[in-house]
Structure 1
């Protein structure tokens, strides 16, 4: 688990019945159970799904943070309520505020957790042992419904937000109304844009086949290992023999993602696992999953284009075959 030290914890509650806040009057005692639960919740925010950016010192939200943690949490909860009231789908939720250290640096977190009803088996109740309980917290392994984690030294933040429905349209109220920022796209979305842009350029230059798709996945995977993805470097690998295609790819990508995609401080294991192997679906119904290091090894697998336009795949040096 990520090395986090939770120092203070406050939970307020929002109820849709009267759209009011139930405000705590003091921080909670942090038991080992709460420490484990909320440490797991915080770790979920440092993920490839989080949008990122930086709050400047004159940002209205940043100004709500003071040395009085409880007072800050109340002001932010009230500001959140004002922004959230436009939502057409309101549910009871806990507003969790956490002051914690990560690698020796002070961080502030605001998590919104939607509470739910669940069936509980009550011991000692022989007639009605199963009862419906209210306000149950989601599992520790679930990503918060919405979350902001802020490095108070640098102003850098990680954001998970949901669109809410208002007047027939959907809005990102958290970033637009509460934070008043335009965050960077998440790593997950950015990588999708990279793949789509590369495919379109390859299409335009008649290079889009299974070999290019495989090369693209391998190139992106290798950049993940370097913890940064730069358009120019990627272009050189994908379109090494075509200067016009390289320039087109870089220009098109930078229109959507101006800065290099940075991977430090987040868990990108899902993306890494997705890109670590080639999944090939053949026209005869055969499906192959080939790890990248084997796919690129001519002594292990070879793709042959026949004179009639069909392909043959030669898999070599197999020591053992198992039926799974």
Structure 2
């Protein structure tokens, strides 16, 4: 549940060369404005969002600490700090920026939402002395629609200083780079949920091959363990995943934990706010890739039903995947 407290919309026109700051907050009594902002906030918490904690030495943190009771001043100062970094890019586009003070689960948050302009078309009705006529006009400064996510942004929980972040890469002195975390927030970030899952899957496959744990059955086990860990369990850790995947092999468990740590996935896996919703969507179906290249996609509830899916070891060492009355050879 999101409760909006205050929001300001600022215009960043790169051609004009200076931001246009609004000194008046948006009218949150208007339902369409509330719905628009809430949608943009919700869409930041997605599978590609990176997470981290705002560094105590960050300029943004200093601004927050010195303006705790003055959001009217804070919101503009945060945009000014962001713009100092953003304007250094030769290719970053014009945009609008929303700064929002809101509560989620009774905890105060700050949202920074950057919305790049889009080109759209509309009609114009004109007239002359004889008649009315219509024309087609191109509008080059439309902000994303209600259903579209902000181009970039972050959500910051003020009490813990934990943030979720989506950012894009732009050219700075001829080099394309992401800048929000490094230059604006000045804080390190963890891998996104999507990146974490990819590391876990690939590392499990690599370690499994080393310890003769491979094939369709092992692949299915890895997917099932990850689905259970992220969707059903309250706490997710690399150690628990290792124990479930490599049940009777402590050496393989250790190798798995060490390798994923080297790739940036640590024991206590940080997750985005609506992890249950995101992970449920990610793991609602299981994909099984057979040795002959055939891919089978099975809904999770059917995958876990032995009356629907069964893995059978054949005398020649091959594995059969039995789907109802059909047998697919691996």
Q: What TM-score do the two structures reach when normalised by structure 2?
A: 0.87
After the TM superposition, which residues 116-195 of structure 1 pair with which residues of structure 2 at under 5 Å, given as runs?
116-122=118-124, 127-195=133-201
Structure 2 CA distance for aligned equivalents of residues 287 and 248 of structure 1: 29
Match of 1:269 among 270, 277, 280: 277
Partner of 2:305: 297
Structure 1 CA distance for aligned equivalents of residues 89 and 233 of structure 2: 41
Partner of 1:210: 216
Task: Give the deviation of 1:219 after TM superposition.
Answer: 0.3
- Whether the 8 Å contact between 1:53 and 1:184 is mirrored in structure 2 is yes
1:230 aligns with 2:232: no
After the TM superposition, which residues 71-82 of structure 1 pair with which residues of structure 2 at under 5 Å, given as runs?
71-82=73-84
> Secondary structure, in 3 states, of the residue corresponding to 2:93?
coil
Note closer, same or farther for the CA distance 1:264–1:182 as it changes in structure 2 (3 Å cut).
Answer: closer
Partner of 2:12: 14
Task: Give the deviation of 1:312 after TM superposition.
Answer: 3.6
Partner of 2:254: 247
> Secondary structure, in 3 states, of the residue corresponding to 2:8?
strand
After the TM superposition, which residues 54-65 of structure 1 pair with which residues of structure 2 at under 5 Å, given as runs?
54-65=53-64
1:44 aligns with 2:62: no
- Whether the 8 Å contact between 2:216 and 2:290 is mirrored in structure 1 is no
After the TM superposition, which residues 78-117 of structure 1 pair with which residues of structure 2 at under 5 Å, given as runs?
78-117=80-119
Note closer, same or farther for the CA distance 1:196–1:88 as it changes in structure 2 (3 Å cut).
Answer: farther
Task: Give the deviation of 1:283 after TM superposition.
Answer: 6.8
Task: Give the deviation of 1:21 after TM superposition.
Answer: 0.6
Task: Give the deviation of 1:268 after TM superposition.
Answer: 4.8
Partner of 1:53: 52
- Whether the 8 Å contact between 1:188 and 1:271 is mirrored in structure 2 is no
Note closer, same or farther for the CA distance 1:128–1:217 as it changes in structure 2 (3 Å cut).
Answer: same
Structure 2 CA distance for aligned equivalents of residues 7 and 270 of structure 1: 26
CA RMSD of aligned residues (A): 2.4
Partner of 2:314: 306
Partner of 1:5: 3
> Secondary structure, in 3 states, of the residue corresponding to 1:143?
coil
Task: Give the deviation of 1:148 after TM superposition.
Answer: 1.5
After the TM superposition, which residues 277-292 of structure 1 pair with which residues of structure 2 at under 5 Å, given as runs?
277-281=285-289, 288-292=296-300
Q: What TM-score do the two structures reach when normalised by structure 1?
A: 0.88
- Whether the 8 Å contact between 1:73 and 1:97 is mirrored in structure 2 is yes
**How many corresponding residue pairs?**
316
Structure 2 CA distance for aligned equivalents of residues 279 and 187 of structure 1: 18
For structure 1, list consecutive stretches of 5 or more residues without a partner in the other structure. 319-324
- Whether the 8 Å contact between 1:107 and 1:149 is mirrored in structure 2 is yes
- Whether the 8 Å contact between 2:121 and 2:137 is mirrored in structure 1 is yes
Structure 1 CA distance for aligned equivalents of residues 82 and 317 of structure 2: 60
- Whether the 8 Å contact between 2:219 and 2:288 is mirrored in structure 1 is no
- Whether the 8 Å contact between 1:118 and 1:132 is mirrored in structure 2 is yes
Note closer, same or farther for the CA distance 1:137–1:267 as it changes in structure 2 (3 Å cut).
Answer: farther
- Whether the 8 Å contact between 1:87 and 1:165 is mirrored in structure 2 is yes
- Whether the 8 Å contact between 2:92 and 2:171 is mirrored in structure 1 is no
Task: Give the deviation of 1:176 after TM superposition.
Answer: 0.9
